[in-house]
Amino acid sequence: MNMWLSGLAGGVLIGLSATLLLWLNGRIAGISGITFGLADAPKAERGWRVAFLLGLVLAGGLAMHLLPHIAPRENYPRMALIVAGVLVGVGTSMGSGCTSGHGVCGLGRFSKRSLAAVLTFMATAFITVYLLRHVLGAVA
Amino acid sequence: MTTRWLAALFAGALFGLGLVVSHMSDPRVVLGFLDLAGDFNPTLMFVLAGAVGVTAIAFWVVLRQPRPVLDESFHVPVTRRIDRPLILGAAIFGIGWGLAGYCPGPALVNLGAGLAEAMVFVPAMLLGGVGYRLLARYWG
């Protein structure tokens, strides 16, 4: 299957997942909110979050092994991964969402707030990659 | 309660499968999309189109129901204000996203697959996300 077609198919699965979670549980499928919410959610709010994340991690991890794929990236600078991880955590926590919450779900609800967030993180991501690859000349 | 957890587990699994099928679990494909001036890879655009194509229609139908199937009411964000934390947070997230090619969902899927990069990225992300959340609450 060519790449844009599998992208479209996978995107539809993601959209169906978000629809199911909203239709059945009344929840927004925002990965950062579901994850970090575990830190201070009341007890009754934890179960579904853990269940969702368990499904994501286990099924996703399994699929990465079962589906045909190319060898994973290796030797990416450790410091870049750590700094990026902290920035992604702080940013999605402060901005109340990531690519799933603001992107898939927020845009689906025609939320102007989410559109503003998506345009902002796309812009800074484009600039970051441009600077890294075409100004600083990093190969990664 | 248990049905709610099962629904969340299934939705999470479907989401994870979607991320793998769509190649979004591979940070190189994501960075390829973010590299407008280089070897541009449009796959992410198709993923977002597929996902939002579903949610834009399905959310509209679902949110017209009086309540979700397994809960008393919908838990949908009510904030509409485009404020400083939203934009600043999204901007910070975008920098981290461009630096390593991971947003939260794919990072967690890679963790499930047992990939070394995710073992470094995810703890850093949790530290940033949970840390910011707790500090923000402490500061009020």
In this predicted model, what pLDDT tens digit does every residue of A55-78 receive, in sequence order?
Answer: 999 999 999 999 887 889 988 999
Q: Is B26 left (phi over 0), alpha (psi -120 to 50) or beta?
A: beta
Q: Which whole number is the average pLDDT over B2-25? A: 97
State the Cα–Cα distance between residues B55 and B41, nearest whole angstrom: 24
What pLDDT is recorded for position A70? 82
DSSP string, B68-85: -TTSSS-B--------HH
The answer to whether B112 and A64 have CB atoms below 8 angstroms apart is yes
State the Cα–Cα distance between residues B127 and B107, nearest whole angstrom: 14
The length of chain A is 140
Q: What is the mean pLDDT of chain B?
A: 96
User: Is A140 a domain residue?
Assistant: no
Task: Give the range of the structural domain holding residue A65, as residue numbers without chain letter.
Answer: 3-135
**Number of C-beta neighbours around residue B10 at 10 A:** 18
- Taking 70 as the threshold, does the pLDDT of residue A41 lie above it? yes
Q: Are residues B38 and A35, on separate chains, in Cβ contact within 8 Å? A: no
Structure tokens at A24: 């059945």
Q: Helix, strand, or coil here: A27?
A: strand
Which residue of chain A comes nearest to B42, CA vs CA?
Answer: A4
Q: Are residues B4 and A24, on separate chains, in Cβ contact within 8 Å? A: yes
pTM of the model: 0.96
- Taking 80 as the threshold, does the pLDDT of residue B140 lie above it? no
Structure tokens at A101: 């919450």
From chain A, pick out residues whose CB is under 8 angstroms from the CB of B13: 55-56, 58-60
Residues 102-131 of B with CB under 8 A from A: 102-105, 107-117, 120-131
Structure tokens at A83: 């700094």
Residue B40 distance to chain A (closest CA, Å): 11
The ipTM is 0.96
Q: How many CB pairs under 8 A join A and B?
A: 490
The answer to whether A8 and B49 have CB atoms below 8 angstroms apart is yes
Q: Are residues B52 and A40, on separate chains, in Cβ contact within 8 Å? A: no
> Cβ contacts of residue B57 below 8 Å, gap of 6+?
none
Phi, psi of B131 (to 5 degrees): -60, -50
The answer to whether A88 and B104 have CB atoms below 8 angstroms apart is yes
A133: nearest CB among B38, B70, B100: B38
What pLDDT is recorded for position A139? 64
- Full 3-state SS string of A2-26: CHHHHHHHHHHHHHHHHHHHHHHHC
Number of domains in chain A: 1
- Name residue, tokens 């139908």: B61
Q: Which pLDDT tens digit goes with each residue over A6-40?
A: 999 999 999 999 999 999 999 999 999 999 999 98
A39: nearest CB among B9, B125, B134: B134
Structure tokens at A44: 């009754």
Lowest mean pLDDT across A49-53, A136-140, B50-54, B96-100 = A136-140
Q: Which pLDDT tens digit goes with each residue over B16-52?
A: 999 999 999 999 999 999 999 999 999 999 999 999 9
Could you report how far apart the first and last alpha carbons of chain A are, in Å?
Answer: 26
- Taking 80 as the threshold, does the pLDDT of residue A111 lie above it? yes
